[in-house]
Structure formats: structure tokens, C-alpha cells
Amino acid sequence: MNQKPVLKQAFVSSLPVLMGYSTMGFAAGVLLAAKSGVRLPALWAFLTSATSISGALQFMLVDWIRTAQPMLDVVLLTVCLNIRYSMYGLSLIERFRGLPLAKKLYLIWSLTDETYALEVENKVPPGGDSILYCLTLAALNHCYWIFGVVSGAFAGAALPFPNKGIDFAMTALFLVILTDQCRERKNRVYAAVGLLASVVCALIFGAGKMLIPSMVLMLSALIVFRKPFGRLETWKPGAGS
Amino acid sequence: MSGTSTEYLLLLTAVTAGVTFLLRALPFLFFGTGKRPPALVLSIGNVLSPAAIAMLVVYCFTCYVRDRAPADHMFGLAEIAAAVVVVSLQLWKRNPLLSILAGTAVYMTLVQTVVP
């Protein structure tokens, strides 16, 4: 059948992402040009945004470039930032089964928070090709992200402005993600575990060396105490036990 | 190695893209054949994200205090004020972009004017 309605619907579904990615990407691009100290910021904005397609990572990269963060830290932090992606595929395994390898690899590679949400929603017109819908969505969102980051890098390099403190955008992004996660009661328990573990490790090991011990402490606590934590998920103050 | 040497940047780009892709591919690699993931993996996977993001928030805040004496950054006043703006706006309006822009604007204003 004619697949034009599928392409059209994919474009319509992607419009909110266009708004989000072009502005958020722009901020990350400006930050890269302003703070990383890299030459040719637009080139690196393009390479990093096109290959990773990850918002929080794009912000973190600026700091890593500026301080030449050791690669082990980079790997661990990337895992921390993006571990949620490793859950997304679980709900798409069936739909992507048996696809040609290139299509499957692209669909996995392009699986951002927003693309995942739209693919699960799957508003494909009746009789339309769901894979074509997913591929179109993924490619559009991918382009929006690259466009946002690269244009931000150009703007940041062309128009220097008093940018002291602009790096707070990354902290703000994490705070927003955390705030939204904590709307769910059960997530509050685990956010508190992460908070406690990392504050303890920051006090013991110092600000610069806290990450690896925090991850170890956090993971061990989550595994060892998973049953008590599970009971806490539904605990209400004052309701008794 | 300088922070901005081309070799470092290329390695950084490859490593971050590679790790991110691997994370996205994990379920397809392990459970693509129809096996159910072990219960422990599923339960840790479901709860790791809020814990990890909370840790990153703490990490960001420690970066602000890392190289300075408490009095030099007003005991974190600018950071706390901006964080309160971000969280309250997000709870109220649920608009990530608005929360991030407003919080960053507050922070930039504070560190460029009030806090030295």
C-alpha cells in the first residue's frame, strides 16, 4: 500500500521532539563552544551528537574535554548516565525481530528517551508499516539533535557572551530528570540510596575521587538490600507496618 | 595529554558512542532469542536509574565546591538557590526546558553579580 500517511504521521509525531531537541541541543552546543576549550567546536559538536545521540552525555562531554577526564571515569559515568537505555530494548525486542541487520542496528543506535517513547506509543496509521514509521521517527529525531547541537556550537563560537555559570545547565538537567523520576513513589527510595551512597563517598574519598566508590557502594546496597528496599517502596509514614 | 588534543577527542567520541550503543543493544544481545532476563537483572535494572541520577546530582554539586574554600562560593548559596528554582518549576510546570533555562539564568546571574 501507499506508505505516505506513515511518513506524514511520523513527521507529525516528531514535532514536539523538534522543539525539545533543537533547544536543548542548542544549549549543549553553546556550552561546548564556550567551556570545553576545543578548537573547531562545530566539528566536534557534529561528531559527538551524531554518534552518541544522548542529551545528558552531550552536556557531560564538555566537562570531560576541558579536564581531560581519564577514560575509565568516562566509561563509568557514561554507564551511569545511560543505564536506563538498557531497559528500553526489552519492550521492542519483538517488534524488531527478524529485521535486516542494518535497519535493526540503526533502530537500536538511535534509541533515545523521546524516540523510545514515540516508538512504544506507535501511532502508525492502520495498515501502515510500523518499521518504516520507527525508522522515519528515529532519523528525524537524530537530525533534530545534530541540528540543535551544531547550531548551538556555531552560535557559541560566533557570539561570545559573559557565560560564567552556564555549566549549571547540566546540573539542572539532572535535577529535572530526578524530579520527574521521583514523582513515582518507588523511585524515591532508590534516589535516596544513590544520594546517601554518593554523599558518604564524597566525604570519605573527596570530590574528585567519589565516582567509582559511589557506584560500587550503590550497586552493592541495591543488590544486598533489595528485599527491604522493595518493602520500603510501598511504605507510607504513619500507616504502620 | 592536553584536554583538547585530537587523539583524546577522537577516543572520547568513540568511547562514549560505543558505550552508549552497547547499553542500548544489551537487551537485544542477551534476550533477543526470547529468553526472559533473570529476576535480579530486571529488578536492579529497574531501580538503578534513579539511584545513578541522584549520584550524578551529588557529583555535579561536589564539582562546584571542589577547588574552592567554602567562604569563596558563599557556602553553595548560588547552587542551592538555582537548584530550588529548577526543582520547584519542574514540579509545578513539568516543562524541562523552562526549568533548565530559568535555573541556569538564576545561577548565571548570581555567580556573575552577587557571589564573586
Counting the structural domains of chain A, the total is: 2
Contacts of B47 (CB under 8 A, 6+ apart): A186, A187, A189, A190, A222, A226, A229
Rounded CA gap, A197 and A203, in Å?
Answer: 10
List b or e across A217-241, with b for residues whose CB sees 16 or more CB atoms inside 10 angstroms. Answer: bbeebbeeeeeebeebeeeeeeeee
One domain for residues A88 and A150: yes
Contact present, A137 and A105 (Cβ < 8 Å): no
Cα distances (Å, whole numbers) of residue A104 to A79, A108, B24:
22, 6, 12
Q: Is residue A200 pLDDT above 80, yes or no?
A: yes
Minimum Cα–Cα distance from B18: chain A residue: A52
What mean pLDDT value characterizes chain A?
89
Helices (H), chain A: 4-35, 41-52, 55-67, 71-82, 85-88, 93-96, 101-109, 113-121, 130-158, 168-181, 185-205, 211-224, 226-232
The single-letter DSSP state of residue A126 is T
Residue from B49, B53, B55, B16 nearest A211 by CA: B55
Q: How confident is the model at residue A241 (pLDDT cuts 50, 70, 90)?
A: very low
Residue A171 lies in a domain: no
Say if residue A103 is in the same domain as residue A186. no
Confidence of residue B23 (pLDDT cuts 50, 70, 90): very high
Residue B68: the pLDDT is: 66
Q: Where are the domains of chain B?
A: 34-114
Phi, psi of A38 (to 5 degrees): -85, 145
**pLDDT tens digits, residue range A136-155?**
999 999 999 999 999 999 99
* Statement to judge: residues A125 and A215 lie in one domain: no
B53 and A170: CB-CB below 8 Å? no
How far apart CA A173 and CA B101 sit, in angstroms, is 10
**What is the reported pLDDT for B115?**
66
Q: Which of A29-33, B32-36, B90-94 comes out lowest in average pLDDT?
A: B32-36
What length does chain A have? 241
Listed by number, the residues of chain A in 37-56 with a beta carbon closer than 8 Å to a beta carbon of chain B are: 37-39, 44, 47-48, 51-54, 56
pLDDT of residue B2: 45
* Predicted pLDDT of residue B79: 92
Q: pLDDT tens for residues A37-56?
A: 898 999 999 999 999 999 88
Within a domain: A139: yes
Please tell me if residue B112 touches chain A, with a CB cutoff of 8 Å: yes
In the numeric block, which cell numbers belong to residue A164? 560564567
Q: Report the pLDDT value the prediction gives residue A117, as an integer from 0 to 100.
A: 82
The 8-class DSSP code of residue B37 comes to: P
User: Domain check: are A150 and A200 in the same one?
Assistant: no
Residue B33, chain A, CB below 8 Å: the answer is: no
Q: Report the C-alpha gap between A239 and B50 in whole angstroms.
A: 25
CB-CB contact of A233 with B90 (8 Å): no
DSSP state of B112: I
> Which domain-ending residue is among A124, A158, A192?
A158
The answer to whether A173 touches A56, Cβ cutoff 8 Å, is yes
Interatomic CA distance for residues A189 and A182, integer angstroms: 9
What value does the mean pLDDT take over residues A66-81?
90
Question: Residue A123 falls within a domain, yes or no?
Answer: yes
Q: Residue A102: pLDDT band by 50, 70, 90 thresholds? A: very high
Q: Are residues A80 and A193 in the same domain?
A: no
With CB atoms and an 8 Å threshold, state whether B20 touches A57: yes
What contacts B49, CB < 8 A, 6 or more positions away? Answer: A83, A84, A87, A181, A190
Regarding whether A120 and A50 lie in a shared domain, the answer is yes
Q: Within a domain: residue A163?
A: no
Cα A4-A7-A9 angle, rounded to 5 deg: 105
| Rounded CA separation A138/A88 (Å) | 14
Do A11 and A53 have their domain in common? yes
Mutate to test the interface with B, among A168, A204, A210 (most CBs of B within 10 A): A168
A82 belongs to a structural domain: yes
> What is the pLDDT averaged over residues B106-111?
91
In a domain, A97, yes or no: yes
Report the percent of chain A where pLDDT is more than 70.
Answer: 98
In a domain, A54, yes or no: yes
Q: What is the mean predicted confidence (pLDDT) over A86-99? A: 85
pTM: 0.80
Cα dihedral across residues B88, B92, B97, B98: positive or negative: negative
Any A CB within 8 A of B116 CB: no
Residue A116: closest CA among chain B residues belongs to which residue? B24
